[in-house]
Structure 1
Amino acid sequence: LNLGPPQLNLQIAHHTSGTVSPGSFQPHQFQYTRDNNVLSLEQRKFYEENGFLVIKNLVSDADIQYFRDEFERICRMEVKPLGLMVMRDVTIAKSEYVPSEKVITKVQDFQEDKELFRYCTLPEILKYVECFTGPNIMAMHTMLINKPPDSGKKTSRHPLHQDLHYFPFRPSNSIVCAWTAMEHIDRNNGCLVVLPGTHKGPLKTHDYPQWEGGVNIMFHGIQDYDKNNDRVHVLMEKGDTVFFHPLLIHGSGRNKSQGFRKAISCHFAGANCHYIDVKGTSQENAGEEILEIASKIHGMKDVSLKDVWRLRARVVKGERINL
């Protein structure tokens, strides 16, 4: 897997004979991963140090085709799942609307869509998720991203951000994103860009970037990051899945290809996480915007941020505790 400079040794899932048991290492050495026999010692160390881990070829071609077919049905408006948020790029949002996958750039909150939500319940995904969340697992936030070819205004970029900015629940070390490539993804079609090790830092202030061509809704970014931090472009093949920490600074470049770049993802959290009040914090702007969208799109009035998230959340393994 060539990530370009700097050369980072991305760990690949493999069965180890378990000659070195993680138990023989001091518990404080592992802050971001749980003790189980799924991750090799090398993989755990890699995630601890970098805040992300790519597992090759995790989701089958058949499953990916299944998700692609359902996405196309949603685009053609043959199915209208409850609570689904359909997004268009700011440059095509005002164009003439013909139902097709060419105008929809992202669907969020597909928890009521049986076909897409199956992604969040795949045993091969949950097996790894448990390494970060523990055994009681909630699916909190779902997305299928259909990054469009850039219109020339660079609006297909996603600014560098931390996902925790949007989440009113903690602790952050019990949250993980699973992000699966639905086709070959490289720098040309806008692969993920990560700043390794930034998951060890604080949650930063986010706002809309001042981009000339306009910015898509909820595409908040951080201005204050170390420009010298080595960026890693995460090149992926269809079915590869990257797991990453919600404080990891990441984004994606513009799609310079002619095709759409698809990925499906879910943020999972340990069911014993708890909600926090974001008023008066750097997350207040995201919280207000989420409530605004809930009111505008779903007609939800006089609800709290916690209510909105509780409606989105689904238990996928074990039992529902706090979330």
Structure 2
Amino acid sequence: MLSENQILNWDKDGVVITKKQKQFYLKNGYVIIPKLIDQRSIDSYTQRFQDICSGKCEKTPQMLLMRDIVVAKKGEKTITEKTLNKITNFMDDEVLWDYCQQPKIVNGVKDLIGHPNSCILAMNTMVINKPPDFGKLSSRHPLHQDLHYFPFRPSDFICCSWTAMERITRANGCLVVVPGSHLGPLLEHGYPDWDGNVNTAYHGIKTYSPDLNMVHLEMDTGDTVFFHPLLIHGSGANRTNGYLKAITAHFANDDYCRYLPKDNPEMKFVVEDFEKLIEKYLSKKGIHETNITFHDFWSLKAKEVCGIRSNL
């Protein structure tokens, strides 16, 4: 079997990502490509998000609309742009799924985790919305590594694309990354001690050095950052009167990625947390007995971007 270094070519330009940008990604675990997605597409995704919020269009069956915890604690059940902080699982929404079909996204992913003929799956799809903070700092996201959530490996054949849907700054809660942290191990995660104002599944690294070299990724509309699943990253609170919106997907190379054993000990915390959420979600739909596992959850929401799916 070929080694990862033989499969992933870091020494020549890709279709989207240049050799220099590849080398930056290899060293730092992320790379920003300016203006990768055009304004017309961004406007389309923004309008779709707003239409879902207002009820002008129905959400697809697997789509989840997630409210901020402070809103939920107040008993506010109405979905609006100000209360909704995330749409997940948009793989069956024809407008939002266009993002995962964008040639510059697909080819950028292939440049980093595959080759032109790779089978690429979108494993996780989200529109992130960060409204003005409710005063409890619940809009921030603790430092974490995405691989913590993923029951598949190897990590070098997984990457995220994260595209700004509007100007993103430190003031409205931009991404914060720790360059080079993807070269280290997967660290232990849990819920941070934030006075109960932590959104569901916002897990964070339990212990880390307070002197981490953190970089704030301020981005313009259409800018896209690709990053490795072991990269330590998070985001701050939105301290403005406006919004922060981004559209994002995690991709895996199905030719090489495989699921971990279901009893893998490093997945214990996240599996237990998510299986409770899955049970709660299905219960709301009137389904009270099911054998859907954490692995099933990932398999059901994975979708081919290109190629023929055979493993994930």
TM-score, scaled to structure 1? 0.87
CA distance in 1, matches of 2:186, 2:8: 17
Deviation larger for 185-194 or 68-77: 68-77
CA distance in 2, matches of 1:32, 1:203: 24
1:242 alignment partner, SS class: strand
Distance change in 2, residues 1:34/1:313 (3 Å): farther
Whether the 8 Å contact between 1:52 and 1:243 is mirrored in structure 2 is: yes
TM-score, scaled to structure 2? 0.90
2:167 alignment partner, SS class: coil
What is residue 162 of structure 1 aligned with on the other side?
145
Which residue identity lines up with residue 39 of structure 2 in the other structure?
D
Match of 2:162 among 179, 185, 202: 179
What is residue 37 of structure 1 aligned with on the other side?
14
Deviation larger for 103-112 or 288-297: 288-297
- 2:290 aligned with 1:307: no
CA deviation digits over 1:31-82, x for unaligned, max 9?
7958663332211110011000000001111111111111112112331211
What is residue 3 of structure 1 aligned with on the other side?
none
- 2:263 aligned with 1:279: yes
Q: CA deviation at 1:256?
A: 0.5
Distance change in 2, residues 1:94/1:311 (3 Å): same
CA distance in 2, matches of 1:162, 1:252: 12
Match of 1:94 among 58, 65, 73: 73
What is residue 64 of structure 2 aligned with on the other side?
85
Q: CA deviation at 1:278?
A: 5.0
CA distance in 2, matches of 1:42, 1:244: 15
- 2:48 aligned with 1:70: yes
- 2:128 aligned with 1:145: yes
Match of 1:115 among 87, 95, 98: 95
Which residue identity lines up with residue 291 of structure 1 in the other structure?
E
What is residue 112 of structure 2 aligned with on the other side?
132
Q: CA deviation at 1:292?
A: 2.1
Match of 2:27 among 49, 65, 74: 49
CA deviation digits over 1:78-118, x for unaligned, max 9?
31211111111111113333332111110111112111111
CA distance in 2, matches of 1:138, 1:314: 5
Instruction: Report the aligned-residue RMSD.
Output: 1.9
Whether the 8 Å contact between 2:191 and 2:202 is mirrored in structure 1 is: yes
Which residue identity lines up with residue 211 of structure 2 in the other structure?
N
CA deviation digits over 1:222-273, x for unaligned, max 9?
0222222210000100000000000000000111111111000000000121
Distance change in 2, residues 1:278/1:259 (3 Å): farther
Q: CA deviation at 1:284?
A: 1.3
Distance change in 2, residues 1:202/1:32 (3 Å): farther
2:22 alignment partner, SS class: helix
Which residue identity lines up with residue 306 of structure 2 in the other structure?
K
1:115 alignment partner, SS class: coil
CA distance in 2, matches of 1:212, 1:97: 22
Distance change in 2, residues 1:311/1:322 (3 Å): same
CA distance in 1, matches of 2:124, 2:268: 18
Distance change in 2, residues 1:80/1:31 (3 Å): closer
CA deviation digits over 1:258-315, x for unaligned, max 9?
1111000000000121000253523211112222222221347112222211110000
- Stretches of structure 1 that go unaligned for 5 or more consecutive residues are 1-26
Q: CA deviation at 1:187?
A: 0.3
CA distance in 2, matches of 1:29, 1:314: 26
CA distance in 1, matches of 2:11, 2:292: 35
Whether the 8 Å contact between 1:82 and 1:113 is mirrored in structure 2 is: no
Distance change in 2, residues 1:31/1:149 (3 Å): same
CA distance in 1, matches of 2:59, 2:266: 34
What is residue 217 of structure 2 aligned with on the other side?
234
2:159 alignment partner, SS class: strand
CA distance in 1, matches of 2:291, 2:11: 39
Which residue identity lines up with residue 267 of structure 2 in the other structure?
Q
CA distance in 2, matches of 1:35, 1:278: 38
For these two proteins, the number of residue pairs brought into alignment is: 297
Match of 1:208 among 165, 169, 191: 191
Work out the percentage of aligned pairs sharing the same amino acid.
Answer: 45
